Amino acid sequence: MVQDVSNAPCISIGDQTLEMVNDFTYLGSIIFNNLSLDAELNTCIGKAATAMPSLTNRAWNNNMPTKTMMRMYQACAISMLFYCSETWTLYTRQERRLNAFHLHNLRNILGITWQDRVLNKDVLAKANLPRLLAHLSHRRLHKDIIYGELLAGSRPTDVMVCAKGN
């Protein structure tokens, strides 16, 4: 895969020539030569959407408490949706798409139809969940704190470092 190259290089290993591709999957993420996240978002939304009917049929139709339903939703659907999301840089339209998916699911779980005319903020309050983008920011913040501390951190001076064999 190459980016912004007029002539694609021909790479050979032994007697085999490597095939030029526009995308590939690496550790569950789809990497495109144009760096677009749209296909990866489609995949993540699709995976999370496939979990929803199973949860609806098995869990939410049994008069489960709202708090338990929301925890199951977060554990199953949101986890699938945000797999590898720490590296995402989203455009506004992509954020809106994720948020629409999230609110659609919450409305289904809570039994709120569009005819009820309930505002999104009221749906989130009833579900006792933050906006979906707050989830994403929280995941990024965790990574930033860990790596930021390693980047700017220092070792205590009272720690003894022993050489091998001592």
> Nearest-CA neighbor of 86 among 28, 151, 138?
138
- Domain hosting 110: range is 36-152
CB 120 within 8 A of CB 150: no
> Is 67 domain-assigned?
yes
Q: What pLDDT was estimated at residue 3?
A: 64
CA–CA gap between residue 132 and residue 123 (Å, rounded): 12
More confident residue, 51 or 18: 51
> Nearest-CA neighbor of 135 among 107, 95, 92, 104?
95
CA–CA gap between residue 33 and residue 79 (Å, rounded): 26
> Is 163 domain-assigned?
no
pLDDT in tens, 22-41: 777 767 677 777 767 888 88
> Is 65 domain-assigned?
yes
Residues 6 or more apart from 93 whose CB is under 8 A from it? none
Measured torsion, CA atoms of residues 81, 84, 88, 91, in degrees rounded to the nearest 10? -20
CA–CA gap between residue 10 and residue 161 (Å, rounded): 48
> Is 104 domain-assigned?
yes
The pLDDT of residue 9 is above 60:
yes
Q: What pLDDT was estimated at residue 144?
A: 65
pLDDT in tens, 88-131: 788 889 999 999 999 999 999 898 998 999 999 999 999 999 88
> Is 25 domain-assigned?
no
> Is 13 domain-assigned?
no
> Is 69 domain-assigned?
yes
Q: How many domains does the chain have?
A: 1
